[in-house]
Structures are given as structure tokens and as C-alpha cells.
A = this chain, B = another copy of it.
Amino acid sequence: MNRLVALDWGTSSLRAALLDAGEVIEERSSPRGILTVAPGEFPAVFEAACGDWLRQGGALALLCGMVGSRQGWIEAPYCPCPAGFADIAARLAWVEAGRIAIVPGLRCEAHGVPDVMRGEESQVFGALRLLGLDEGLFVLPGTHSKWVEIRGGRVESFSTFMTGEFYALLRQHSILQRTLPPADGELDTNGFLRGVTHAMQSGNLLHAAFSTRTLALFDRLPSGALPSYLSGLLIGEELRSQRLATLARPLVVIGAPALAQRYELALQALGIPVRSAGSEATWLGLWSIAQTLEGTA
């Protein structure tokens, strides 16, 4: 197969790429996340987004993300971990046989509680191929950050941290909003790293978050540095729970540059070696999954 139509169709947006021989030749994005799509409307939104690509010689469309959830186009039941390329390819949910398929998300279990991802699995598989790795710890920062452990090319386990969402909640809806300046402004590196350090020392976000208010109250941090400090608190709290000291190889940070840079800054300050991959890893991940279908589709 030479051409693939790849979609990352999430809650609030849709991104699509046309790949030829593993290379992205065109990209598109649209605000038609699944929350904006009524049941029954998925075929039309898909057609508008990239129907032309499929007609112009695209052999296959592979979709990942919340489009495979209960609220999506069709449900692609979660694939249990450990899971690799082949496990996922064997569990594609076919919207149209041999032509349009949805990649299942993953689930795992720890302390008797399940965890889930949808879309990040394709990004991780792409990063594995991009970086030539089949072992290691990966982080995908975001609204819901994912920490993913890879062994033998498969996702062994992972855990979700609601870091980005907590930042937004505290920033916009909490008492801290009264203390913080209206705009986030540029990153204040000192303020950010001070937040990271305090979260790790404090060991409890319910307590550490209050320091944003008291540091401002006693003029211990300039107002302009407070959003960066709060961001550092949140990211530091996430890092606090990872086993970073015993990593055998560099931690891989996968994501858009602005956010990935903050994680890299914090990790650097902690002396943790890092490699990075961009969010375009998704396309390579979907391409890799498509390759396992050769001869079956």
C-alpha cells in the first residue's frame, strides 16, 4: 500500500494527513471534533474533511482518537495492555471493510482501577519508529498527560495525569484566578522552576497550590511570574510520581513544542536526560499500523 489517509479525530478537533510511501504530502485540520458531530453525521464530516483524498488514489483511511469512543463514529473497544502494532491492527473497528478503520484505544489496570487512552497509542507507536526504539518511558503532555512504559515494542502499561485540565481549572475558576494576572504572558523560567521544586517538596497539590496565593500576598513572587509558577506546580506534581531516578535510557517527550519545552526544562533541572518527538509522530504511527495490514486488506 502506497497511500494512507490518516486522521486524529479527537474531542475538540480533527487533524488529517495524506501519506505517500510513509511521507506526509498534505495536512488539514478542522474544528469538527466529535463533540460537534451529531450521531449519523460522521460520514458527511469525514467526506468533507478528506473524502477527496480517498477518491484520488488513497487505498485506506485509518482514524484514531475519540472517534472510536462510545460517542464517536463507531465504538472500537479498548485493546488490553500489553499491546503492540499487531495487537492493535488485529482489533481495528472497520467502518467500511478494507477502506475506513478506527484504531482502538488501549486500557490497562493498576490498584484495581482501569486507565484508558485513545489516540496517544498511535503517537507512541510513531515515536517508537521515528526514534528506532522498542523500550523506554514516554510522556505525552497535555490536558490529560499520558506516561507510557514500553517493553519489547509493546505498551506494557500507562497512566493518565489530568495536569493540563487542573491548570485550566485553577487558572480560570479557582480563588487563584483573583491573584493571577489576566494573561499568562511568556514563560518566566525562574517562576516555573520554583513551582516545579515546591510541588516536589510539598508532595501534595491540594497544599502546594495555595502557595500561589500566599507568595503573591507577601510579594515573594512578581505578579507576572505567577502563571508560570502555577504551571510549574502542576508539572512538578506530575513528575513527582514518576520513577525518573532509575531510568535506563532517556525519557521521551512527545508533543507540541510549547508544552514539551516546559517538560524538558523541568526534567533538565532535575538532571533527567530527555529525547523528543513532535506530535506528527501520530502519522507515522498510523502508517506503521497500516503496514501490518499489507495483504490482509
Contacts and interface: CB of A to CB of B under 8 A. Distances in A.
Contacts of A163: 206
A111 to B, nearest CB: 5
A213 to B, nearest CB: 8
Nearest to A163: B206
Nearest to A69: B217
B114 A162 contact: no
Interface residues of A, number: 40
A147 B144 CA distance: 30
Given A162-B206, A205-B205, A206-B161, A114 B214 contact: yes
A270 B278 CA distance: 45
Specify how many copies of this chain sit in the oligomer: 2
A237 interface: yes
Contact of A169 (B116, B174, B237): B174
A113 B197 CA distance: 12
A160 B114 CA distance: 31
Given A111-B198, A114-B217, A162 B210 contact: yes
A207 interface: yes
Contacts of A115: 210-211, 214
A205 B240 CA distance: 11
30 contacts: A111-B198, A113-B202, A114-B211, A114-B214, A114-B215, A114-B218, A114-B220, A115-B214, A116-B214, A159-B207, A160-B210, A161-B204, A161-B206, A162-B174, A162-B206, A162-B207, A162-B209, A163-B206, A165-B174, A166-B206, A173-B173, A203-B241, A204-B205, A204-B237, A204-B238, A204-B241, A205-B206, A205-B237, A206-B237, A207-B241
Interface of A: 111, 113-116, 144, 159-163, 165-166, 169-170, 172-175, 198, 201-207, 209-211, 214-215, 217-218, 220, 234, 237-238, 240-241
